[in-house]
Amino acid sequence: MAGFDDLPEGAYLTPPLTTVRQDFTAVGREGIAMLLRLIDEPGSSVAHVSVRPELVVRASTAARRSPGTGATAALFSDAAGAGPAR
């Protein structure tokens, strides 16, 4: 499970929530620069600007387990209970 916007509460959930962090300062800076450019040069075109997000991995997206381990292993075992399906 993952969230978006890196809300502070996400780090305190159980398990802590993996999230995508956006640099709102950089987004605001680019937006203001674009607005000022349009004010100074009214006929100018607007460029597409991207601000790269950051993936913050926390416990809600744990590493994948090996087949046949963990609580869901029983779901994939054979009917006779001989162990995980191969």
pLDDT tens per residue, range 30-47: 999 999 999 999 988 888
Quote the domain boundaries for residue 57. 2-76
pTM of the model: 0.57
Is residue 83 in some structural domain?
no
84: in domain: no
Residue 82 placed within a domain:
no
Cα atoms in the Cβ-side hemisphere of radius 13 Å centred on 36: 6
Instruction: Evaluate whether residue 81 is within a structural domain.
Output: no
* Run of H or E residues at 28: helix 24-40
The answer as to whether 85 is a domain residue is no
23 within some domain: yes
The answer to whether residue 41 is domain-embedded is: yes
Note whether 15 and 59 are within 8 A (CB).
Answer: yes
User: CB under 8 Å to 54, separation ≥6 — which residues?
Assistant: 20, 21, 22, 23
The residues facing 20 across adjacent strands are 4, 55
Phi, psi angles (nearest 5°) of residue 27: -60, -45
* Total number of domains in the chain: 1
Looking at per-residue confidence, does 73 or 9 come out higher?
A: 9
